Amino acid sequence: MSEKGISTLGREGLILRLKEAQSKFGYVPQEVMAELAQSLEIPINEVYGVASFYSFLSTRPLGRNVIRICRSLPCYLKGAQTVIEAVEKELGIKPGETTPDGRFSFQLANCIGLCDQAPAMLINQDAHVELTPEKITQILRMYK
Amino acid sequence: MENKVNLTLNGRAVSARQGMTILEVARENGIDIPTLCYLEDFSPMGACRLCVVEVEGSRTLVGSCHTPVTEGMVVHTHSPKVLAARKILVELLLASHPDSCLVCDKANICELRRIAADLEVGLPRFHARKHYYPVEDENPHIIRDMSKCILCRRCVIACKSAGNGSMFSVAYRGFESKVVFGCDQLVDEAAVCPDFDGCIALCPSGALRKPVKIGEERAEKALIIKG
């Protein structure tokens, strides 16, 4: 009974611990997952299952800045595709990739709740809205 | 004395014990509802949806493996609406399944294939992107081919209840979902489990299978496909 109680508590703490690792290292390294599995007494595959489920947790190293462009319907209708292409052209990488200098990772995200100001994207924690291909160069210049 | 629940099952009045699911009552009364994720004695997953039935007064079809019976319930397990839904579900499962039944080791005992034949699914209508993963055949006790996995989660559940947590977990999300071992590693030679045969026997597709050794006979019965 008490054993079960502890393991349930461990599971509850898992996401919090993964988020901590994410903000500390920029991703969740495999060693951290192994440590978490051991301390929370759950199998490592379960830790990996949770870490890989969430968009804001990464199991692989990312660039210093992470661009997330919304690919949901409202943004799509307002021309998100042209913005995506502008970023691809500017950085020379496709969604899911990281620039060789490690400055940017580029991802597509589902709705980020900024449909009223579509098309929208997040760079790290900052929202950039009402995007046009022309605005991209200037915005990206702000991130080193 | 346990509480009795009276319900109508395919037009017949039956009584059941309180707390039983529709599926359990149906099976007790000799009605065959197909399932791919359901495991007796484990809490239901409700993942495959093949066990859906029509309950009068319900807005949608309900999963019979996780819906308890209630007094006065009127259930149809094989109405045209139910059969159409089941057929589409199997078609969707097959849409991303590799077309390798002809050379699949488990073809003769594949539950997915048997159900597809039973439901007369016919030629594929839907074409989805297929996932191709490397076949994991390094381990002497298990061969894993995740291309054929239908994500029923039986191996995850069964392994979890066998002891210290499961060796397998579902990772990623949506179409990318996959049953992983470790941090999405191949099940290699070093992976050990006291009972790989357990999950292999439960796998309803060709995703988990036992390496057949030379000279060892296959014990399984042949599948009889009608038509």
| One pLDDT digit (tens) per residue for chain B, 227 residues | 568 999 999 999 999 999 999 999 999 999 999 999 999 988 898 999 999 999 999 999 999 999 999 999 999 999 999 999 999 999 999 999 998 888 888 888 899 999 999 999 988 889 888 889 999 999 988 999 999 999 999 999 888 877 667 899 999 998 899 999 999 999 988 888 877 788 899 999 999 998 877 666 666 666 666 54
Residue contact B171–A53, C-beta within 8 A:
yes
A12 and A79 share one domain: no
Q: Indicate whether B224 belongs to any domain.
A: no
Structure tokens at B21: 């699911």
Helix (H) / strand (E) containing B12: strand B12-17
Q: What angle do CA B204, B208, B211 make, to 5 degrees?
A: 130
Q: Are B83 and B61 in contact (CB under 8 A)?
A: no
A78 and A131 share one domain: yes
Chain B interface includes A15 (CB < 8 A): no
The torsion angle over the Cα atoms of residues A16, A19, A24 and A29, rounded to 10 degrees, is: 110
Using CB atoms and an 8 Å cut-off, which of residues 48-107 of chain A contact chain B?
Answer: 48-49, 52-53, 59
Residue of A nearest to B156 (CA): A46
Q: How do beta strands A65-70 and A104-109 pair?
A: parallel
Q: What pLDDT, on the 0 to 100 scale, is given for residue B54?
A: 97
Residue of A nearest to B165 (CA): A43
- The CATH number of whichever domain residue B55 belongs to comes to 3.10.20.740
* B166, B168, B183 member nearest A33 (Cβ): B183
A77 and A104 share one domain: yes
B64 and B114 share one domain: no
- The complex scores an ipTM of 0.84
Q: Rounded to the nearest 5°, which phi and psi values hold at B9?
A: -120, 115
Domain of A14?
A: 2-53
A28 and A81 share one domain: no
B163 and B192 share one domain: yes
B175 and B205 share one domain: yes
Chain B interface includes A8 (CB < 8 A): no
Residue contact A44–B184, C-beta within 8 A:
no
Give B61's DSSP letter. Answer: -
Domain of B96?
A: 87-209
Q: What pLDDT, on the 0 to 100 scale, is given for residue B223?
A: 61
- Per the structure, how many domains does chain A have? 2
Q: What pLDDT, on the 0 to 100 scale, is given for residue B190?
A: 82
- Per the structure, how many domains does chain B have? 2
Q: Indicate whether B204 belongs to any domain.
A: yes
Residue contact B172–A53, C-beta within 8 A:
yes
Picking from B78, B108, B143, the residue at the C-terminal end of a domain is: B78
pLDDT digits (tens, 9 = 90+) for A75-91: 999 999 999 999 999 99
B33 CB contacts (<8 Å, ≥6 apart)?
B23, B26, B27, B50, B51, B53, B64, B77
Structure tokens at A118: 């579509």
* A42, A43, A48 member nearest B171 (Cβ): A48
Residue carrying the six token digits 């392994």:
B159
Give B21's DSSP letter. Answer: B
For residue A23, give how far its alpha carbon lies from the nearest alpha carbon of chain B (Å): 20
- The CATH number of whichever domain residue B97 belongs to comes to 3.30.70.20
Chain B interface includes A44 (CB < 8 A): yes
